[in-house]
């Protein structure tokens, strides 16, 4: 099957993989609370993007992408908390923070563009 590239689908999937690796590292440090939060929200971004791509209507698409945006913002929050409490690998966390901010910008743009096309 030849699927055309989808930047947000690919970025959110790769981000989820990186979040799973971060989760595993945090578990090795016996960090069980924040790690669970970040793996849930960080992997949920891509799951909601996937659901949006299978949406039944523009309204459904916007709703799912908006949820993905909220999950990305929540993940950004947990990453900032990890950074500021000095849990985990700082350079890895900073990379994930930059990626989460890029994902937020992309999804925000997608939602705004979709709403601007007449539904919402």
Domain contains 2: no
What is the C-alpha separation between 111 and 58, in angstroms, rounded? 10
Coil, strand, or helix at residue 55? coil
Domain contains 24: yes
pLDDT at 13 (0 to 100): 98
Which CATH number belongs to the domain containing residue 96 in this structure? 1.20.1440.60
Domain contains 120: no
pLDDT at 120 (0 to 100): 43
Contact 8, 47 (CB under 8 A): no
Print pLDDT tens along the chain (120 aa).
Answer: 556 889 999 999 999 999 999 999 999 999 999 999 999 999 999 999 999 999 999 999 999 999 999 999 999 999 999 999 999 999 999 999 999 999 999 999 999 999 997 644
Nearest in space to 99 (alpha carbons), one of 3, 21, 25: 21
Contact 79, 38 (CB under 8 A): yes
């Amino acid at each position: 099957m030849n699927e055309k590239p989808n930047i947000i689908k690919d970025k959110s999937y790769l981000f989820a993989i990186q979040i799973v690796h971060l989760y595993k590292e945090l578990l090795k440090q016996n960090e069980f609370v924040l790690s669970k939060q970040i793996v849930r929200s960080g992997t949920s971004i891509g799951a909601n993007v996937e659901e949006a791509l299978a949406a039944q209507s523009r309204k459904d698409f916007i709703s799912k992408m908006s949820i993905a945006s909220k999950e990305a913002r929540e993940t950004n929050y947990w990453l900032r908390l990890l950074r500021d409490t000095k849990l985990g690998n700082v350079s890895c966390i900073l990379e994930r923070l930059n990626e989460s901010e890029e994902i937020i910008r992309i999804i925000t743009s997608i939602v705004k563009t979709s709403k601007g096309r007449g539904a919402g």
